[in-house]
Amino acid sequence: MAEQSANETKKRIFSAVKPTGNPTLGNYLGAMRHWGSMSDEFDCLFAVADLHAITVAIEPKELRENTKRLFALLIAVGIDPEKNIVFLQSHVRAHAELGWLLNNYTMFGEARRMTQFKEKSQKTPENVNVGLFDYPVLMAADILLYQTDVVPVGDDQLQHVELCRNIAERFNGRYSPTFKVPEGRTPKVGARIYSLLDPTSKMGKSDANDAGSVFILDPPDVIARKFKRAVTDSEARIVASPDKKGITNLLNIYAATAGVTVEQAQSEFADSDYATFKTRVGEAVIETLAPVQKKYAELRADDGELMRLMRSGAERAERIAARTLEKVYKKIGFVRG
Ligand code: TYM
């Protein structure tokens, strides 16, 4: 009931994170950090996209641990599991079902254009499986099941949200209005955080070189060391510019963590040298992540409670998802009992 009445007055948000690798500062600043405070304005659902995690090779034990860790982290970053619906994607079967149905309204050519598919195929040429190709269609199902208005994501997911809109419009046009056509939304600062060692590539969960990625659960001394080693350039000026990618990335990280604009960050460090600047950015990140890490440790100490929260989130999500799925089956012409 709470879900239904909230839905009548508030716009709905859906987003998810995939439990591959180790969640990074990029995931935090580009996405998760903003999610905790959204429930005042929106009716929010957040999922651990575990079905998406098997598109790359992953050991069963690792999948289990990554999933629990990410679920606990969602709550640790400030998402209240009572005010929001937080759950595991695989616990709500409608995701896989709608994913199959939507495959038939997705063109091969448009799916083939997805940048992330192209990049991942190049990265692991030995495992270019159909799931990897189909990944954005399952993501569309995640979003469309909940009649989502807004999808808050980092920059790299916007193309997938665009595909989701196309699928929704195609389905609505073929039958009659069935899905809300959602809008992707990125944060003003922090939408794309780059590797500290290679500021031309995105900071990722499964990067070969761990030193370039800051993980949300890294201990403070490790974070401090990673920032001290961050690449800069030879000209000691702290300004954001296209030819100073390392410094620009650090300024963005600082601005996003300290809650200031990049221009404010620039003037704050106008008289600093690189070493001082890098130390200060590291300190700001450590300070930001400390309460998240503390809350995370508390949550992981009680596995029973974590499982209870997962089950309760899934039950609430299931109720909303089932309505959309049933509608879709009927529109297509399936015989329903
Ligand atoms: P994933 O798990 O790769 O990333 C989760 C969120 O973090 C953002 N992000 C970043 N933001 C800034 N800088 C970075 N370096 C950075 N790296 C990641 C991502 O943009 C994302 O918002 N397919 C999705 C998960 C998903 C999903 C969905 C998202 C499944 N179903 C439905 C939205 C709606 C993914 O793999 O995100």
Who has greater pLDDT, 247 or 123?
Answer: 247
Catalytic residue at 202? yes
Could you tell me if 50 and 16 are in contact, meaning their C-beta atoms sit under 8 angstroms apart? no
How confident is the prediction for the chain on average, in pLDDT?
95
Structure confidence at residue 3 (pLDDT): 52
Give me the percent of the chain exceeding a pLDDT of 70.
Answer: 97
Which regions of the chain does DSSP assign to beta strands (E)? Answer: 11-17, 42-48, 85-88, 150-152, 183-185
Contacts of 55 (CB under 8 A, 6+ apart): 120, 129, 131, 132, 135
> Which residue among 73, 95, 146, 153 is best mutated to probe the pocket of ligand 1, counting the most ligand atoms within 8 A of its Cβ?
153
Across 249-262, average pLDDT: 95
Q: What confidence tier does 2 reach under pLDDT thresholds 50, 70, 90?
A: very low
Report whether pLDDT(73) > 80: yes
Distances, alpha carbon 47 to alpha carbons 4, 15, 86, 173, 245, in Å: 19, 7, 6, 28, 32
* Site of tokens 């909230």: 6
Distance (angstroms) between ligand 1 centre and the Cα of 154 equals 6
Tokens 């601005």 -> residue: 255
Give the C-alpha separation, 50 to 4, whole Å.
26
Ligand 1: residue of 12, 14, 15, 17 to mutate (most ligand atoms within 8 A of CB) is: 17
DSSP code for 266: H
**Is the CB–ligand 1 distance for residue 139 below 6 Å?**
yes
Give 8's pLDDT tier (boundaries 50, 70, 90). low
Return the ligand 1 atom nearest residue 190 CA: 12
Nearest CA to ligand 1 atom 29: 16
Q: Name the residue with higher pLDDT: 204 or 287.
A: 287
What residue spans of 77-157 are helical by DSSP H?
94-103, 108-112, 115-123, 130-144
In angstroms, rounded to a whole number, what is the distance separating the alpha carbons of residues 231 and 245? 9
Lowest-confidence pick of 57-71, 206-220, 270-284, 308-322: 206-220
**208 pLDDT higher than 70:** no
pLDDT at res. 110: 97
Ranges of beta strands (E only) in 5-89 are 11-17, 42-48, 85-88
Say how far apart CA 221 and CA 241 lie, in whole Å: 29
Which residues share a beta bridge with 15? 46
Res 233: pLDDT: 86
- Bridge partners of 86? 46
Catalytic residue, from 68, 180, 205, 278: name it: 205
Does 263 have pLDDT greater than 60? yes
- From 154, 213, 158, select the one nearest 182 (Cα to Cα): 158
CA–centroid distance, 236 to ligand 1, in Å, is 33
Strand order, beta sheet including 11-17: 85-88, 42-48, 11-17, 150-152, 183-185
How far apart are alpha carbons 22 and 27 in whole angstroms? 10
pLDDT of the residue at 51 = 98
pLDDT number for residue 6: 47
